[in-house]
Amino acid sequence: MKLPLGPAPTVDAIIELPGDKVVLVRRRYEPLGWALPGGFVEIGETLEAACAREAKEETRLAIELVEQFFTYSDPRRDARRHTLSTVFIARARGEPRGGDDAAEARAFPLDQLPAPIVFDHAQILADYRRYRQTGQRRRLGTD
């Protein structure tokens, strides 16, 4: 078995919708549960382009990237393999609809998130909630 050369770059989007809601997708494949829209960066693709593409594929929403939030690199964040996820905050309008490997896409208030939330996305959403409340980002070295 050939081992990967290193961690795989991924992106995730915290998509804000009007009414203080964020978009999550219910995964069609393992690990099953709810997640932020996102996925693997393709060769020749920028992080920003990958984020917009993955969001469109999984939610059918055209997003506007607002800012790069944080990069999560804990080797245990994805049981399938070591990934590095750059998370973006984005805005969109409209009703999310599941597509690609997302069985469903829905908007949730931050205080009414579904379960289970897979990968490290519950931690990402907690960091985001804290950022919105206090303006403080996750500290480096706490990943």
- Rounded to an integer, what distance in angstroms lies between the CA atom of residue 30 and that of residue 130? 29
CB 69 within 8 A of CB 48: no
Going along the chain, which residue ranges are E strands?
A: 8-17, 21-27, 34-35, 38-40, 64-72, 83-91, 102-109
**Strand pairing report for 64-72 and 102-109:** unpaired
Residue 104: active-site member: yes
Instruction: Considering the candidates 45, 48, 57, 104, report the single residue annotated as catalytic.
Output: 104
Q: Catalytic site residues?
A: 104
